[in-house]
Amino acid sequence: MKTIRLTLELKSVILTAIVVLWASNAKAPIILPPTNAFVFPPIGTLQKISDYTVSSLSCVMIFALVYETNGQETSYGGTIWYKGSTVITNKAQLDQQYILPGLSNVVIYNFCTNSNPIYDKSKGIIVYIGCEILTPSGLSSQDMLYYGPIKIYLVKNTDGSYSVPNLSGFATLINDSIPFYVPNLQWARLEVGNKGTSTPFAIYDNNYASGSSPISSDGFLYLSTAFITNSSSSTGNLWVKTSLIDVIRLIPGGSSNLFQIFNGDGNIVPENPLQLVLSEGSNSAFCLTVNGGDSGHGFVLQSSTNLARNAWNNCSSVAFVSSTNEVPSFITILTTNICSFFRLATTNLPPTN
């Protein structure tokens, strides 16, 4: 929760009445149900995360390193499998029916039967597997599931040849951070705290700490698997708050920025309302205190003399944004207008500082 105080110095003005109002996107067009607002898939538990990774991955990349007889490591290539329209119901099916055949029957088998004397098969083969999601342009993101890098030793036969070892227990692992593609993502903030407290112990946002944004250079939103699963399990002791600003289409046309808040289950969380409180200051000034709201969500103070729909003016061209939930900000606005009514209008602009 944040508190921002805006002090109005009223010069030669008799303030007869002040009514405090709140407006969300006061000057924005009316938004009917957006056609492309981002919605998280079910992600609250480890099983749901596993199901999401399996359903969303685009391709599986298998890479291999081997040893030469001089002891040097060298690249041995690998193979890529594209999921395409293949229907996979769970991770065990993915691991055993699709990834393992590519690993054992293609990459490792190829090395076992390679007759090039430059390779030292007794030292095994180092493999790494990455299951990735692709951007609309076809670029790969961070691994969603992975295996290795790990050295796999070959089985040496009595005739001196080598065979593929038993890999029946093969299984990929879920990555520490899971990527989510949010179309037209403008800004994101991840906050994590202990249940029962309102102050986060970790904040990931470039406006709070440089280099901590949950948005990676590939444009994906990355959320920690450990935070998500810990906050949603019955024994979890964390809460997670993910705030996003992305561009949506409006009906019947046009586009607008949308501010959204999600919890660790990926469910939308209502915004905390903004409230204006009037108090008398010093030197014939009045103080308007802004309570509530959500960190990262910008707003502007507006005033009017008659409450007419089009008679609202910004008291300042600056949109105020609280950088944290717990640190108050103090802002002074000077006005020479006779203003009887005030309201707050949210801006849905990505924070810049």
| Domain-embedded: residue 351 | no
221, β-bridge pairs: 180, 215
The verdict on 70 and 126 lying in the same domain is: yes
pLDDT in tens, 172-220: 999 999 999 998 899 999 999 999 998 899 999 988 888 899 998 888 9
pLDDT digits (tens, 9 = 90+) for 302-318: 878 777 767 788 876 66
Average the pLDDT over each of 124-133, 191-200, 242-251, 324-333 and give the range with the smallest value: 324-333
Question: Is 243 domain-assigned?
Answer: yes
Mean pLDDT of the region 261-272: 90
Same-domain pairing of 258 and 285? no
Opening angle at CA 227, ends 226 and 231, nearest 5: 115
pLDDT over threshold 90, residue 7: no
> Which of 204, 236, 262 represents a domain boundary (last residue)?
262
* Residue partners of 58: CB distance under 8 A and separation at least 6: 82, 83, 132, 133, 134, 140
Query: Residue 279 belongs to what domain range?
Result: 2-30+272-346
Same domain, 188 and 227: yes
Q: Which residue, chain included where needed, has tokens 């229907």? A: 87
The whole-number pLDDT of residue 320 equals 66
124 and 101 belong to one structural domain: yes
Least confident range from 38-42, 68-72, 119-123, 249-253: namely 249-253
- Which of the residue ranges 83-87, 116-120, 194-198, 279-283 would you say has the lowest mean pLDDT? 279-283
Say whether both 53 and 112 belong to one domain: yes
Nearest to residue 97, comparing CAs of 110, 107, 77, 83? 83
139-143, 170-174, 329-333, range with greatest mean pLDDT: 170-174
Quote the pLDDT of residue 164: 97
pLDDT for res 289:
72
* 3-state SS, one letter per residue, for 4-30: EEEEEEECCCCCCCCEEEEECCCCCCC
- pLDDT tier at 234 (50, 70, 90 boundaries)? low
Asked if residues 20 and 344 have their Cβ atoms less than 8 Å apart, the reply is: no
pLDDT band at 279 (very low <50, low <70, confident <90, very high): low
For 349, which DSSP code? P
In this prediction, residue 33 carries a pLDDT of 44
| Residue 62 and residue 142 share a domain | yes
Query: Do 276 and 20 form a contact (C-beta atoms < 8 A)?
Result: yes
Total of domains in the chain: 3
Is 40 inside any structural domain? no
**Tokens found for residue 258:** 């949308």
Helix axes 225-232, 46-56, angle to 10 degrees: 140
Residue with tokens 């709201």: 293
Q: Which of 74-83, 147-156, 257-266, 284-293 has the lowest mean pLDDT?
A: 284-293
For residues 53 and 171, membership in a common domain is answered with yes
The lowest-confidence range among 40-44, 100-104, 331-335 is 331-335
Which residues, at least 6 apart from 159, have a Cβ–Cβ distance to it below 8 Å? none
Q: What is the pTM of this model?
A: 0.80
Q: Are residues 74 and 167 in the same domain?
A: yes
Report if residue 267 sits inside a domain: no
Same domain? 215 vs 328:
no
Which carries the bigger pLDDT value, residue 4 or residue 47? 47
- CA-to-CA separations, 304 to 118, 182, 221, 310, 339, in angstroms, rounded: 83, 38, 40, 9, 6
- pLDDT of 332 reads 44
Torsion of Cα atoms, 286 then 292 then 295 then 300, to 10°: -40
